[in-house]
Amino acid sequence: MAVSTIYSTQALNSTHFLTSSPSSSSKQVFFYRRQTNRRFNTIITCAAQQTVVIGLAADSGCGKSTFMRRLTSVFGGAAEPPKGGNPDSNTLINPQKQYADAVIEVLPTQLIPDDNEGKVLRVRLIMKEGVKYFSPVYLFDEGSTISWIPCGRKLTCSYPGIKFDYAPDSYFDHEVSVVEMDGQFDRLDELIYVESHLSNLSTKFYGEVTQQMLKHADFPGSNNGTGLFQTIVGLKIRDLYEQLIANKATAPAEAAKA
């Protein structure tokens, strides 16, 4: 069975997603997040009866509740903060950084020279190429190098504006695609303009990313790339889960034909 993992590397804060396929009796999605000395991990297990169990453990204040509320909402549940204790999971992260298939990095803005307030963030979504069940998100044209300032008639931007970048790159010697957003949204209802230029979002209908962002507009990070990319990763996890379940459902029939 496939195993998917989300964990974190040190930037300002980061979240990572990886997929591998060791032998296992269940499907799992594992999350890990770290912000300075704060971290979390989450396991989603899909057993034979197709139930989903989500467990969360971490120090407080690292954004784990916000991320899990977004993920729960994507799966159709109530976006409530997760319950549970906070065991130390620091030993899980460092050995696994090189295996990450998707990474969210939160970094200082490059739009404000010598910025030291940290109110405006630059967020990167790094996605490994060639992973089964996982298609990297891209901006405009897949595989190209693109810089885009969407501010204008269709997107309201106050200082210092918004800038998107997309390009192929290398991460721990793996080929990756990177989508980056620097800046913050003034009006979430205009996010549909940005969403319409992103592809491979794993949405079920046009505007689902915008709908999720508007639904949870009061969540931390909803006005910048943190909330945007958390929402997209949540959709990718849902898509991964559904593909795994569909593959498991068709496996007996395929075996019988053989």
Structural domain range at position 173: 3-257
What's the predicted TM-score (pTM) here? 0.72
Mind giving me the DSSP string for the chain? --EEE----SSSEEEEEEEE----SSEEEEEEEEETTEEEEEEEEE-TT--EEEEEEE-TTSSHHHHHHHHHHHTTS------------GGGTGGGGGG-SEEEEEEE-SSSTT--S--SEEEEEEEESSBTTB---EESSTT--EEE---SSSS---TT-EEEEEEEEEETTEEEEEEEEEEB-S-GGGHHHHHTTEE----SSTTHHHHHHHHTTTSTTTTBHHHHHHHHHHHHHHHHHHHHHHHHHHHHHHHHH-
Q: Give the pLDDT confidence of 191-220 residue by residue, as tens digits.
A: 999 999 999 999 999 999 999 999 999 888
What total of structural domains would you count in the chain? 1
pLDDT per position as a tens digit, 22-32: 444 443 444 43
